[in-house]
Amino acid sequence: MDAESVRTNFNEIKSSYNINFELKEEQIEVAVAALQKRNVVCLLPTGFGKTMCMVLPVILQMDKNPITLVISPLSSLIDDQMSTLENWNIKCAKITSRSDMQTDVIRGISNGEYNLIFSSPESVLKPFWKKVFLGSIWQSRLCMICVDEAHCISEWGEDFRTDYQSLHELRSFFSAPVMALTATSTQKVKDDIMETLQLTDADTDIIFKSPDRPNIFIEIRKRDSTDFEISLKWLIDYIRENGVNSKKIVVYCRSIDRVSDLFLCLKDNLQLHAYANQEKKASNLLVEMFHKSTSEDSKERILKEFKREDSRIRCLIATVALGMGLDIRDIDLVIHIGCPKSVLSYWQEAGRCARDGRDGFSFVLYDNFTLSLKTTGKCIRDIIKNTSTCIRRQIVNSLTVDNFKEDTLDTKKCEGCDLQQCRCPACKCCAECSKNCTCQERSKFSIEEFLQTPRD
């Protein structure tokens, strides 16, 4: 099936799946490769629609009642994707510990009653499921093995979640092609994915789109005090003045202790202003924290509330636990306290901002301590230190693989305007580029300026 056939067939069937959008060119490329039984590595930006890439090979050949097996790192991410698929009228199920699964679901998976099956690497490699996979139903109907958030192979596979290193075993069970998907990848990460899944250049298509998010302005600033009350006075003042009408903000910290310290600082300084309508009760808190030690009930409650357009939570302070699969489209601002761990993790987290196309802001408030940590990657350290080059260009170049490097960034400054806030490409790019625009002599764009603009 060629690209035009994919587009035509999709448009003919999409209404039966409650789908009302058009396919992007890269999604069509992915479908063509998959339907031609070629392996595919998809390097597509956050918010691009990678779930549809996994679904297309199924719905475009539903007459064969195909099965796709999806390997995913987080249960919460799987649950979100399954919710989307159920809205699209696609039968799906999740493999977990057998003791936690209903008997009819186990039987349904074994008998091929679902078209998409999700699992963690740890669960999918259990002997029981290996036996199921070798049965005639799975052998004849599996059309694709998908590895979602495939950068985890490189980040986690060696010592944290070692079953990632064994995913190539699945390929020995089936003749079906592999699809690996991630939003951010360095050259090393992409090479690790290829090696671990035993993919070769000859049998694999690389579908790449620049990871740039042009609607997100980037500013990096050195922290001027170790005291949060001083270095984040602008944030405290902003929430105090705007309350439930504040922009939706995520603050990432490198440790749970730092999360707790910042949460207490905001709560103590805001006093009654830390609560909606200044009514002091837990259910009214405007500021919450989220980390691996947060109870599962609290995590579920916080995420459910934060996803609401009219969410009472306006500032969520978190570690990396607030991670992959967080699809909240109206986040206005992502703040990093301290130097991020790596350029890959930074852009993953910054990319959770402004997914609905609104103007977003990524603000890094770094300090020498986190900058010098052994766990801080050299690439992100160099970007933080380089105060004379476009920040966005450095990030995008770091996350571009193979021969896909091309300078498509528009950072041209205007030739003078009388706007109070210049909107030329340089002024919309990053703090470094905006310095080059003469219009900025009137109004230099910054985090403080962004917070004063009306929320979309």
The pLDDT value given to residue 409: 64
Range 58-72 average pLDDT: 97
How many Cβ atoms from other residues are within 10 Å of residue 400's Cβ? 19
pLDDT digits (tens, 9 = 90+) for 258-311: 999 999 999 999 999 999 999 999 999 999 999 999 998 999 899 999 999 999
The two tokens of residue 374 are 């052994």
Mark whether 233 and 191 lie in a shared domain.
no
Looking at residue 92, what DSSP letter applies?
E
The pLDDT value given to residue 77: 86
Taking the C-alpha atoms of residue 157 and residue 168, their distance in angstroms, rounded to an integer, is 12
Taking the C-alpha atoms of residue 303 and residue 456, their distance in angstroms, rounded to an integer, is 21
pLDDT digits (tens, 9 = 90+) for 3-23: 999 999 999 999 999 999 999
Mark whether 228 and 296 lie in a shared domain.
yes
Q: Where does the pLDDT of residue 442 fall: very low under 50, low under 70, confident under 90, or very high at 90 and above?
A: very low
With a pLDDT cut of 70, the percent of the chain lying above it is 94
- Could you give the count of Cα atoms lying within 13 Å of 202 in the half-sphere of its Cβ? 0
Mark whether 143 and 71 lie in a shared domain.
yes
Taking the C-alpha atoms of residue 121 and residue 133, their distance in angstroms, rounded to an integer, is 15
> Structurally, how many domains does the chain consist of?
2
Mark whether 308 and 227 lie in a shared domain.
yes
Tell whether the model's pLDDT for residue 160 goes beyond 70. no
Domain contains 45 = yes
The pLDDT value given to residue 445: 75
Mark whether 258 and 143 lie in a shared domain.
no
Residue range of the domain that includes 156 = 3-208
Mark whether 118 and 25 lie in a shared domain.
yes
The pLDDT value given to residue 93: 98
Q: What is the CATH number of the domain that holds 168?
A: 3.40.50.300
Mark whether 28 and 150 lie in a shared domain.
yes
Domain contains 134 = yes
Range 110-116 average pLDDT: 98
With a pLDDT cut of 90, the percent of the chain lying above it is 77
Mark whether 194 and 266 lie in a shared domain.
no
Mark whether 199 and 50 lie in a shared domain.
yes
**5 exposed, middle or buried (CB, 10 Å; 0-12, 13-18, 19+)?**
middle
Tell whether the model's pLDDT for residue 415 goes beyond 70. no
Looking at residue 64, what DSSP letter applies?
G
Final residue belonging to a domain, choices 184, 208, 232: 208
Please state, rounded to an integer, the average pLDDT across all residues of the chain.
91
Q: Where does the pLDDT of residue 1 fall: very low under 50, low under 70, confident under 90, or very high at 90 and above?
A: confident
Residues 169, 174, 176, 177, Cα dihedral to 10°: 20
Which segment of 71-75, 102-106, 372-376, 400-404 scores lowest on mean pLDDT? 400-404
Mark whether 233 and 203 lie in a shared domain.
no
| Beta strand ranges found along 194-330 (DSSP E) | 204-208, 216-222, 249-253, 287-290, 315-318
Residue in the structure block whose two tokens are 């799987």 = 78
Domain contains 421 = no
Looking at residue 48, what DSSP letter applies?
S
**183: Cβ–Cβ under 8 A, 6 or more apart, which residues?**
43, 44, 45, 46, 48, 50, 211, 348, 351
Range 235-252 average pLDDT: 97
Tell whether the model's pLDDT for residue 322 goes beyond 80. yes
pLDDT digits (tens, 9 = 90+) for 332-357: 999 999 999 999 999 999 999 999 99
Q: Give the three-class secondary structure for 156.
A: helix
Which segment of 147-156, 215-224, 314-323 scores lowest on mean pLDDT? 147-156
Which segment of 150-159, 285-294, 392-401 scores lowest on mean pLDDT? 150-159
Tell whether the model's pLDDT for residue 411 goes beyond 90. no
Domain contains 411 = no
Mark whether 161 and 240 lie in a shared domain.
no
Residue in the structure block whose two tokens are 């405007």 = 286
Final residue belonging to a domain, choices 151, 176, 208: 208
Mark whether 160 and 246 lie in a shared domain.
no
Task: Say what the pTM is.
Answer: 0.87
Domain contains 166 = yes
pLDDT digits (tens, 9 = 90+) for 224-234: 998 999 999 99
Distances (CA, A) of 109 to 86, 122, 319: 16, 17, 35
Domain contains 271 = yes
The pLDDT value given to residue 406: 58
The pLDDT value given to residue 413: 65
Taking the C-alpha atoms of residue 261 and residue 254, their distance in angstroms, rounded to an integer, is 12
The pLDDT value given to residue 407: 57
Distances (CA, A) of 108 to 54, 65, 67, 113: 21, 14, 12, 5
Final residue belonging to a domain, choices 182, 208, 234: 208
Taking the C-alpha atoms of residue 250 and residue 348, their distance in angstroms, rounded to an integer, is 13
Domain contains 351 = yes
Tell whether the model's pLDDT for residue 66 goes beyond 60. yes
Domain contains 14 = yes
